[in-house]
Chain A
Amino acid sequence: MSDKKQPVSRRQFLNYTLTGVGGFMAAAMLSPMVRMAVDPVLQPKEGGEFHATGTEVKNITEEPIRVDFSFEQQDAWYVSEVSKTAWVYKNESGDVIAFSPICKHLGCIVKWEGGQGNENQYYCPCHGGLYEKNGANVPGTPPLAPLDQYKVKIQDGMLYLGEVIPNKVV
């Protein structure tokens, strides 16, 4: 090689190679650390999942219907099949609303038009709690809060229900 034609000097060449190799080595060490640090962000959010109910959205009317669904849930010690129930209806604008049937008083299961003479209301058989169709608790009955809602997702015409959230209809 002639002295004039030296686009890359020996010093430069060594600098580049060392920086390159060193960079790879550093990346190999750092990337698992970074992955671990951001891991909680990447985890799918527990409770953010939706569960299939097997109910077609077109079968939901303005009259609340009972929808039962089950899914596997992992508790601290074991995986178990959990069964849940929802009261589902369509409101005036056609949105699907799903209520948790758990009475806000002491946790019994409420029924749509249960008991006698409770038209257009949810009735709790335990202490006579009443809720309107939109989940609002009827004053003068034991419950002090409206029924909770399920998060609703509609996919391919089927109803999926997610976590329980406070009532947003009332």
Chain B
Amino acid sequence: MKWSGQDVSLYSQSKEFVDTGIVPLIPYSLSGSEKELTQLANQSELLTLFMKEVEEEYRGRIFLAPSYTYLKETSIDKEIERINEWTERMEAEGFKHLLFFTFDQQWKKVERKLNPSLIWLPLPQVDDIHNEEAKKVLRSQIDQVTELITAYWQE
């Protein structure tokens, strides 16, 4: 389920079945070279796509939160505090597995300070997400991500 009117009403009715929250972490900035900015925007586009696919596969057990967007320039400690607050709120509502997905490496270094599980994915190097070759690459990555989530459920 996701953060939309229709899904949220389903969520309220079947809360006890939804125990996994996923949140994409998306950096945003407009200062940088063309290449850096393209890469940032690609991160956002791809992660949104990944999360949408994962949500569709497991929509009965997963809740996809709105993207957590942050300025690349903000100090990371501030963001950690906010993320832990998000986590706390969701845990209070009965979520057992909280998974934060990102392509941004800086989270990997501070992973231990984060309460939720952090899943860092390497950014797939594709020029155009709509061409057939790229679709295959992305499909296989998405399948691996969905596999990973089932692994959390088997704990």
Contacts and interface: CB of A to CB of B under 8 A. Distances in A.
Interface of A: 103, 105-109, 124-127, 142
A73 to B, nearest CB: 15
Interface of B: 10, 14, 17, 56-61, 150, 153
Contact of A107 (B59, B150, B153): B59
A166 B153 CA distance: 31
Contacts of B61: 106, 108, 126-127
A105 B14 CA distance: 10
B17 A108 contact: no
B45 to A, nearest CB: 16
Q: Is the interface of A mostly helix, strand, loop or mixed?
A: loop
A109 B56 contact: yes
Contacts of A142: 17
B62 to A, nearest CB: 8
Given A106-B10, A106-B14, A125 B153 contact: yes
A47 B10 CA distance: 25
Contact of A127 (B10, B57, B60, B150): B60
